[in-house]
Structure 1
């Protein structure tokens, strides 16, 4: 099917949904032509659809009018054209010059559309281009489809009724808009709702691209000592694939004897823009940072003479609904049950930590899937305090 769109100032005044609608018609195998009631502009170059532009040349406008007068098809000399335009100008005098220009260019535009042998016309909005499109379609005996977007019309009621009732189909982008125009129709309940066109597949790609570039805020908290595994964590980030690494923002809170060593690991791996040693913070500020983070990492390692217990920060993270990635050291697995209340990666294993961490950085849904169950667990198991226990037993 060959379809013409009646539009004003294409592509400037054509919203993205119109461009997407045209693209969807192309994909469905239809040929689309745009009847543009203003003139050529460079932005039209490279478009897949053919554009029929208006002209500023008065000689061309006059020749088209005279040609159609000879053929008895002139819209300029139509009584109906003048009657409708006079009524429209009476309603909106501020549009006087625009309607005059439309009047003088109607025959020129009609001749271009006639050569295309169109099967169907489509107009968006109840503006000047839709009225001009109606005149042309009536003259060429071509069906036209109107797309309604707002409750705003430039036309007097009798013009509006004629435009709507002589169309072959009417669709609205919302039920509210459709219901508003139902009272103007001879046949009620004939306006269907078809939403504005968007490219869901492309938007999904854009969303995924944005998510892949979006910074994921990781946090690690503890003394800068070997058993905390912060050196291993930084090395794991260095092994993450490029785009994953670029999306990471790791803040390590705490001080200790390994600060200089950790800075060297960061610099040697070129991670100065990825990993920051934040130093010591007051506990309330620390908890706020924890609550605002996307993932807490507890990369504890098992040493011969020193081993971590269950860091309190794990329970604190669960309480503020920040997901946790930890290693299975000491009793950590009692709290962090893999893919239920948190995530576990192999202990003392840079590659293993890098793999699990990469998956969690990329997949925010996976990260957040565990927070509610983790919150329930910490709420249940940490409700009984030592003070209460002492009170019970005395």
Structure 2
């Protein structure tokens, strides 16, 4: 079977879960065409991502002007389909998060994509995220391309489903994958009951190579790590407020912020204001291998997110036998069990976050190791990449 993947930006440091999915499909004998809007010139840390870039075709590599030729070719070859897709694009621009000129660009992108899909012989095309990437494959389908599906992660799709026209995208799709039961429930809110059967739960998965090898014992050093983009939804500012409380109480700790992002300057300012320069370190962008090393060097992962889908880094930490401190948000409680493999606290609650951090740091090594072993067992039961991709492949076959 020949499947195409369409992603807004690929490869990308935060999209390792998409790479894992594609490679797992290929291990099952499925040919996969990679198409992305952009990503041909991004800075990459991971050798696997560098290899993926050489396999990916980029819609916007020639700029917007490069879309004119395929648009005219599709218009000339299939005028009725083109004008039907044009009407759909204009409808998608009404009461949308972006104005209608963007949707005309999506149509032009779809004209190039549908030609590549047809040349490859794609029987199905899958997109990640229910935003513009899904609109492009939907328009490509309207232009005569293969059936499509998409994976919804959240939280963006849940924040503005009406402005993203999620209902229309689901109605036209062969199926939709949600990464958690919570995500499925949010789609049920905005999709007619007649289409509920299209919504499947397919977890993001981890390959065995990520957690292969003998277990690494929990380190004695009182270090916690937070992995994620430095942005408002990940809650790093709240984490620093909690860290300041620990410091004021005389609690010994180290905190690593693994990542980078638009809020780095603000975070660095708060670190200095609280006098935490000796206890808090920011890594900047790091590879998936470096993320693994940071997780293994910490006693636990702390992720005080305000909004999420189901973070892959939680799965990674658990697979490496590290407990998790995180919030009662979205699909997280489906994986993290308080007292068994981690701590859960209310989002936005700095006192509860500080208390969880202090409790974790104060636990004997053998307790954290026992929690880490339980975390490892649970994540492997629910998030094995080959198991989850087998589900996905069966849906591709049924929808093609």
TM value normalised by structure 2: 0.47
| Larger of the two Rg values belongs to structure | 1
TM value normalised by structure 1: 0.48
